[in-house]
A and B are shown apart, each in its own frame.
Chain A
Amino acid sequence: MEVAVKILPPADGKRQDFKLNLPHGSTVQDAVDELARIFGERKMLLINDKKKLLPAWKVYLNEQLISSSNGEYSNKVLNEGDTLMLLLALAGG
């Protein structure tokens, strides 16, 4: 099944739209694992050494926030056509 992913702002400063081909029954964490594979050596832009998304990324599934205020996200099962959005909107300046 195909799942769209939007990473905003683009973690590598370049690419923000991805299409993932995942087996049926895949979860949010499976999508994160696949993104980490795509990022290769730069996977630390997304995940920590426990392979979980960094708490700084907020996770939205079909525009619904699925991460909590402490950065943990629910590992929902994905469906064909879902859109996952990762929003790294850190403050600072």
Chain B
Amino acid sequence: MVKIAGYGGKFLRIDLTSQKAYIDSLPSEYYEDYIGGRGFNSRLLFDLAGPVTDPLSPEAPLLIAPGALHGTPVPTASRSTATVKNVLSGGHGDAHGGGYVGSELKYAGYDVLVITGRAEKPTWVLINDDKVEFHDASELWGKKIRETQEALKGKFSSKKIEVACIGPAGENLVKYAIIADGVATFGRTGVGAVMGSKNLKAVAVYGSGGLAIHDPERLLKAIKKYSEIIKLDAYLPPAVTYGSPRFMWHRVKHGIHGACNWRLGDFKWQQLSPEIFREKHTLKAASCAMCPVRCRRDMMIKDGEHQGEYTKIEWESIARSMTMGLTESVVVIRVITAFNELGMDIECGGDAIAFAQECFEKGILTEEDLDGDSLNFGDAESILKTIYKIAYREGIGDLLADGCYYASQAIGRGSEKCAMHIKGVGVTAGDPRGMPVRAVSYATSTRGSDHLRSNPYVEEIATPEEAERMFGSKEAADLKGVKGKGRMLKWSEDLVTIGDLLGTCKWAFYRAANMQYLQEKGLNLAGEFYSAVTGRETSGDDLMLAAERVYNIEKAFNVRVGMRRKDDTIPERFFNEPNRGGPNDGAIVERDKFNIILDEYYEARGWDPRTSLQKEATLERLGLSHIKDVLRKEEQEKGEKLLL
């Protein structure tokens, strides 16, 4: 067992085939090199899965690791990472959640949980300190998320137990199924499908231990400093008031709604405004563990036919509802409730449905293909019906359950142009047209399309002087600029990765209204918190180095499965079809700007701009000779270059 304050110290491996559990320790250098959370998982995935591993096979691992500070009183340190071989891309995959399973794992003594194998019949697993029990889940199989969590928590009403579970979508191997963890979800890259493929309905955890804090006084001082900053950082007070639906204003300002399958920049958003959700639907503000910001919202339909339906809502689910053409809050709540309860990621699911809607509009899919139904943008009832068909893989739902990329490959007939994905993963966030670095940031994300892998929004908050000092050009502070943007992207990817290593929130730590607070929180205070908790003196720069290491491991994993520069791209629509309406009318992603930024990004990372392959010297500099050795060995077997 590794003894460092703030950590559990142990590593739990569960094999569902043999129904056995093994308790071990991680190598001690992992703590220094990879810090925790996503860091531990990315390294372990690299070792445990190879290029030919089928993500849904028994041997493919599902890893869950709490961030290094999760379970401690550090503000917002609520995040854990679930990592798998990405069901949609075949490369690196992970998802991050702000629930409580991670902290219970830590209190039970574990820094990582690795699950392999496949149970013969539906199973749920109970972890209580060193005790691991395997239970029949036949009664739970088929239940939706809330029912499953209530049923399991009901068995232990006297104890504080936390449950991570899948819904029907995970059971039916929908490629973008989620794992729900109490108030939060591990949403992306098909983690729920991997769990379902193992016949694992749920993991329930309670730990009776505590976590040591090396220097409580230093920790308190840092907490005070953090609390002072968030009162002065204009990024956060609106989050407290409106929750994440306030991001609507950003989309309106730039005209980047991506409505109706990423075609419309102007859209009827007024009935989905932050005020509407606040005044008409907010049931309660909620928070992840240890968070003073409390941006989460439970939203309810308070009158009419669907009165009483409620679910948790965060901004991206509203955004993807607009991708499906929805304009009205009650309908949006019903749609999000369906996704949440069936256990599916609305990012990819929304893109899959919008894909089918556009195909229907263009006559590529007919009513016959759609089981006798129509599927128009904005038509709530057909959207809801399709969501259920996807979760249960019925009719057209079976095809759409594989995501828009695979569905388009199966359909052909020009449908490929309507499939909005990056590396097989549905496009997220705002329309990147007119903002080239955002487009590049979606493309370089190691887990496929993603806006949370970096913080390209730095371009909106840096002054020209800060941009020049940090990224070598004033242009990096200009939305239309190109120079310095690749360096900025690399910096922000590493910065944001720190949040996933420590388990701190990406909004509350890795977004800010100015550079001073972004660096103060994300680097200086992050290092201060980690040092105070663990007693290992660690600076923001040390954390950046660990983050860069982790990013490179994920990149190496993607290289092993065949991803190259050609895969670091965006859907052709963004290059060729101008955005329609609003302040961004007519904008495209200019291909030459995209490529200049991408070249600069690869240079900054120490990767080859032509192929995107990593350079041996880069891996050596980061102390990743093990990764280098694996790549060299596999390139001999394959007869193809994996490393420069």
Contact between chains at A56 and B478 (CB < 8 Å) = no
- Quick check: is B426 within 8 A (CB to CB) of the other chain? no
Contact between chains at B461 and A93 (CB < 8 Å) = no
User: B322: shortest Cβ distance to chain A, in Å?
Assistant: 15
- Quick check: is A10 within 8 A (CB to CB) of the other chain? yes
Interface string of B24-65 (1 = CB under 8 A from A): 000000000000000000000000000000000000000000
Q: Which residue of B lies closest to A92 (CB)?
A: B511
Interface-side segment among A19-27, A28-36, A42-50, A73-81: A42-50
Whether A45 contacts B232 in the complex (CB less than 8 A), given A56-B460, A87-B253, A91-B457, comes out as: yes
Contact between chains at A56 and B513 (CB < 8 Å) = yes
Of B316, B478, B514, the residue contacting A48 (CB under 8 A) is B514
Q: Which residues of A contact B524 (CB under 8 A)?
A: none
Cα–Cα distance between A46 and B94 once the two chains are bound (Å): 36
- Quick check: is B479 within 8 A (CB to CB) of the other chain? yes
Interface-side segment among B119-127, B235-243, B332-340, B548-556: B235-243
Contact between chains at B461 and A90 (CB < 8 Å) = yes
Q: Which residues of A contact B274 (CB under 8 A)?
A: 9
Q: Which residues of B contact A55 (CB under 8 A)?
A: 460-463, 477, 514
Q: Which residues of A contact B507 (CB under 8 A)?
A: 92-93
Q: Which residues of B contact A45 (CB under 8 A)?
A: 232-234, 237, 513
Contact between chains at A48 and B463 (CB < 8 Å) = yes
Q: By CB atoms of chain A within 10 A, which of B234, B460, B480 has the most?
A: B234
Contact between chains at B463 and A71 (CB < 8 Å) = yes
Contact between chains at B252 and A89 (CB < 8 Å) = yes
Contact between chains at B232 and A44 (CB < 8 Å) = yes
User: B127: shortest Cβ distance to chain A, in Å?
Assistant: 31
- Quick check: is A4 within 8 A (CB to CB) of the other chain? no
Q: Which residues of A contact B233 (CB under 8 A)?
A: 44-45
Contact between chains at A69 and B249 (CB < 8 Å) = no
Contact between chains at A11 and B253 (CB < 8 Å) = no
Cα–Cα distance between A72 and B464 once the two chains are bound (Å): 9
Q: Which residues of A contact B514 (CB under 8 A)?
A: 48, 54-56
Q: Which residues of B contact A56 (CB under 8 A)?
A: 234-235, 460-461, 513-514
Contact between chains at B238 and A92 (CB < 8 Å) = no
User: A38: shortest Cβ distance to chain B, in Å?
Assistant: 15
User: A9: shortest Cβ distance to chain B, in Å?
Assistant: 4
Of B463, B480, B513, the residue contacting A88 (CB under 8 A) is B513
- Quick check: is A70 within 8 A (CB to CB) of the other chain? yes
Footprint of B on A, CB under 8 Å? 8-14, 42, 44-46, 48, 54-58, 68-72, 87-93
Q: What are 23 pairs between A and B in contact, CB < 8 Å?
A: A8-B249, A11-B237, A44-B232, A45-B232, A45-B233, A54-B514, A55-B514, A56-B235, A56-B461, A56-B514, A58-B253, A70-B481, A89-B252, A89-B254, A91-B457, A92-B247, A92-B457, A92-B506, A92-B507, A93-B244, A93-B314, A93-B315, A93-B507
